[in-house]
Amino acid sequence: MGNYDDVYKGREYSDMIAADPQEAKGLPQAIERLRELAFNLWFSWNHDALQLFESMDPGRWKALGHNPVRLLHELEDPQLEALSQNTDFVERYRQVMLRFDTYMNEPGWYSTNYAAEASVQIAYFSAEFGFHESLPIYSGGLGILAGDHIKSSSDLGLPLAGVGLLYKKGYFTQKIDASGSQQSELFPYDFEQLPIRPVLQNDQQLTVSLDISGRTITVLVWAAKVGRNLVFLLDTDHEANNDTDKALTAQLYGGNQDMRIAQEMVLGIGGVKVLRALGIYPNVYHINEGHAAFLTLERLKELLHLGLPFHVAVETVRSATVFTTHTPVPAGHDTFSVGMVEHYLGHLFSELPKHKQSIISLGLDHKSGQFNMTHLAMNTAGLRNGVSKLHGQVSREMFKEFHGHIDASEVPISSITNGVHLDTWTAPAWKELFDRFLPGTWRAEQSNEHQWAQIEVIPDESIWKVHQHLKEDLVRYARNSLMEQRKRNGESEERIEEVRHYLNPKALTIGFARRFATYKRANLIFNDLYRLKKLINNPERPVQFIFAGKAHPADYPGQDLIREIYRISQLKEFLGKVVILENYDINMARYLVQGVDVWLNNPRRPLEASGTSGQKAAMNGVLNFSVLDGWWEEGYNGMNGWAIGSAGAADWAAQEKENTKAIYHLLENEIIPLYYNQGEIPHQWIGRMKRSVQSLSPVYNTHRMVQDYTNLSYVPTAKRARLFVADNYDVATKVADYKQFIRSNWHQVRIMNIDDHADKSTSDVPLDEIPPSTKEITAQIHFGPIWPQDTAVEVIYYAENGETWEQKIILMAPIGELIEQSQRFQATIPSHLVHGPHFSIRVRPISTNFAHSFELSLVTSTLS
């Protein structure tokens, strides 16, 4: 039996990435590596590289959407020749390439800290990746997070490869018409004009095949270089496929359930096939949201074909898999009918007929009868996590039943709070300030909180000058966007010209930009228009709002929100002071998070799993004004922004009322006075900006996040995966057999009797040495054929901790001999506790090879 999980040792990819089709055109020798730079998304977070491309032809750079590949394709030879003879340009080119080469070759954080784990290889699967506006294969937060994850992985030197889908028409281009209605437009992209290249095998573009509902689908493979890492992108637009199958990767989150399940098969199953075709056998597979969970079935099939028993194959898959959930509501998790799964995975079931029901059970939600992608991921991943501390709590509550009769706090779902890529989202002007005043290591050691203390010494005048400059850039950008929108909509010259006076660069500016889903409540600020009108039109202390965001084409309530805000923005008293911008993308996001004064976020708590737009704003000195949801509940410290409402539970109506009241109260009594009460340089406001950057930048960046994943998930998972496959899957077999034995015999474990009075004859501790506030209890446990050492016997009770009750767990110690498969256990607990109303006894299986305490959700308890 072969060893499927042989560790991938790493390889040089330069020989498998196709050359640019325009390469034959050639570049002048003095600047010949510009094409190499254009095809590495490292340029997207390095301002000097972006400036270099922009300086080649500023007008064309803007018109081409900041796409360096298209720029190089369209520039004429005489223009390129002139640039190669421009001494200043060539010198800047050399400096950029020197930085690029240094970056690509210097040792990273991972090799420095994990030299002994050089054999680790991580595969990161995600349905979308947002790197830069020139590669539009993202829709929103999930994609931007995935892109930032890859960027920090490159910065830190992680041995990680991404796997995703290459969407021919991206997400959609949003246009807002003259009535405020969202218009969705799709345009096919020419992949030869994007910063991606075909992956070659035997001088041909690599393809893999998979069966979807009885049809063979051919998938083309492309690669995006992201610094030191590669992201493999799958494309079904191949001549061998019919039109329906060509369209499988046409649009992100488009189509119906049939389209969705087929896309997810291409991503998960096709993604594993791509890795195998390239000779890559990761020992860590990271499922970023349930869309990619089918990857576990492809890996399961591989192991079954090697001859492993089903239960051993599942344990092997689980040992190498990490799952991150991003969705705090059950309706947000992809589900399919069992019949649909049987239809689309028919080829898999025909290959493995005796395992069909076992495979379906891995994803079956017994409560709904549906096949749930999150259940599949949870059942096949050794480690699972949410994306903020609060989201971790919500997820544990949501999946409590999945794990049997245990307290929600013990459900094995941890949390790793999201961050953002600091170099991508922090304005260059801010980074220049940081370079001048922070230690020289601040970029490499972003998570070192001590070095951020130096923010204090930056002069207020310098901070305010940078901020005002960025704000003016935003106002200019917003005006241009609105003018283009009105021109396209055929509005009058007067209507177009009036936009030149929209938005006041000196006014307090509040930004709200994100996906227009109803739970995000973009219209909450408009609950009291009379009160809002007074705030906005105060001539001494004016306030203005900028909104942006897309609603999914099928989300009609979300589109209604856009229409409502547009309608309000056209009212006389709000004209030019409330604006909504169309086609929110990465480029617009940079202007907004860098240029507003306040970032508004008011979702229904706790429906925001994390939220990252406010983190981007915080790195630019923008102050967060947010509901205590997602990341902000842990980020807010009372001095670095404002909290809308409380963290307590409330029904939607009560929350709406409380949040509306809090928004207006804080605006009127704290935010607006603080901004306007100190003349030209608002020192107190700037002081709060400093507190925000100091407290949030070192924590909510993806360097810290990826380091957390490495320390807490990737390296432990890689070690566990290697252990499980060693010696012909010996540990995987033992764990699988152990679980099978425990499941078959757990019904024989019984708690026979409990004595909660101290008994001197059975105590190792003399009664006179036991503190008077405690007592000794004993319990008699019958184990049947299960060995007592394979269990933990525990006392469970709750103790008051402030305003909450905290679960306490006391491990009971065995006493006496094992007689007829029964043994007594003892523990010391507070004397006022009485069995039944105050404490219970439980027994649960344990193993040193478990990834977490409740890997087997079996518990025998006096409460059950």
Residue with tokens 């004595």: 755
C-alpha 301/C-alpha 304 separation (Å) is 5
Evaluate whether 226 touches 241 at the Cβ level (below 8 Å). Answer: no
Evaluate whether 784 touches 749 at the Cβ level (below 8 Å). Answer: yes
C-alpha 70/C-alpha 134 separation (Å) is 9
Angle at 482 between CA 481 and CA 483, to 5 degrees: 95
C-alpha 485/C-alpha 811 separation (Å) is 67
Phi and psi at residue 387, to the nearest 5°:
-115, 15
| Helix, strand and coil in the chain, % to nearest 5 | 45, 20, 35
Pairing label, strands 122-125, 284-288: parallel
Q: Which fold has domain 749-861?
A: Immunoglobulin-like (2.60.40)
Is residue 552 classed as helix, strand or coil in its secondary structure?
Answer: coil
C-alpha 13/C-alpha 199 separation (Å) is 9
SS (H, E, C) 642-675: EEECCCCCCCHHHHHHHHHHHHHHHHHHHHHHHH
pLDDT digits (tens, 9 = 90+) for 736-795: 999 999 999 999 999 999 998 744 443 454 544 545 688 999 999 999 999 999 999 999
CA dist 83 → 14, 75, 492 (Å): 27, 11, 42
Which of 138, 693, 152, 226 lies closest to 421 in space, CA to CA?
Answer: 152
CB count within 10 Å of CB 498 equals 16
Q: Which fold has domain 423-441+450-690?
A: Rossmann fold (3.40.50)
pLDDT digits (tens, 9 = 90+) for 374-415: 999 999 999 999 999 999 999 999 998 888 778 888 999 999
Would you state the pLDDT for residue 15? 57
The residues spanned by each domain of the chain are: 423-441+450-690, 749-861
Contacts of 243 (CB under 8 A, 6+ apart): none
R_g of the chain, CA atoms, integer Å: 29
Provide the residue count of the chain: 864
Would you state the pLDDT for residue 26? 84
Which of 622, 676, 667 lies closest to 644 in space, CA to CA?
Answer: 667
Write b or e for each residue in 412-442: b if 16 or more Cβ atoms lie within 10 A of its Cβ, otherwise e. Answer: bbbbbbbbbbbbbbbbbbbbebbeeebeeeb
Does residue 606 have a cis bond before it (omega within 30 degrees)?
A: yes
Tokens of 697: 């930048």
Describe the crossing of helices 373-380 and 310-319 by its angle, rounded to 10 degrees: 90
C-alpha 72/C-alpha 376 separation (Å) is 45
CA dist 271 → 64, 467, 709 (Å): 31, 44, 21
Listed in sequence order, the DSSP H helices in 598-755 are 613-618, 632-635, 652-666, 672-676, 683-696, 702-709, 715-745
C-alpha 823/C-alpha 820 separation (Å) is 8
Would you state the pLDDT for residue 678? 77
Write b or e for each residue in 318-349: b if 16 or more Cβ atoms lie within 10 A of its Cβ, otherwise e. Answer: bbbbbbbbbbbeeebbbbbeeebbbbbbebbb
Evaluate whether 761 touches 726 at the Cβ level (below 8 Å). Answer: no
Phi and psi at residue 370, to the nearest 5°:
-100, 155
Tokens of 859: 């518990």
Evaluate whether 418 touches 145 at the Cβ level (below 8 Å). Answer: yes
Evaluate whether 791 touches 843 at the Cβ level (below 8 Å). Answer: yes
CB count within 10 Å of CB 115 equals 9
Angle at 616 between CA 57 and CA 193, to 5 degrees: 35
Is residue 487 classed as helix, strand or coil in its secondary structure?
Answer: helix
Evaluate whether 287 touches 125 at the Cβ level (below 8 Å). Answer: yes
Which of 344, 347, 339 lies closest to 213 in space, CA to CA?
Answer: 344
Would you state the pLDDT for residue 407? 84
Which of 377, 448, 527, 424 lies closest to 144 in space, CA to CA?
Answer: 424
Q: How many CA atoms lie within 13 A of 657 on its CB side?
A: 4
Number of helices (H), then strands (E), in the chain: 32, 31
The sign one gets for the Cα dihedral 558, 617, 608, 568 is negative
Would you state the pLDDT for residue 771? 56
- Low-confidence residues of the chain, pLDDT below 70? 1-25, 649, 758-772, 864
Tokens of 795: 């006392």
> CA end-to-end span of the chain, whole Å?
44
Evaluate whether 522 touches 516 at the Cβ level (below 8 Å). Answer: yes
Evaluate whether 43 touches 110 at the Cβ level (below 8 Å). Answer: no
Angle at 614 between CA 613 and CA 617, to 5 degrees: 95
Would you state the pLDDT for residue 330? 77
pLDDT digits (tens, 9 = 90+) for 114-168: 999 999 999 999 999 999 999 999 998 899 999 999 999 999 999 999 999 999 9
pTM summary value: 0.94
C-alpha 702/C-alpha 668 separation (Å) is 35
Which of 751, 820, 811 lies closest to 781 in space, CA to CA?
Answer: 751
Q: What is the dihedral of CA 618, 619, 621, 626, to 10 degrees?
A: 0
In DSSP terms, which residues pair with 642 in a beta bridge? Answer: 625
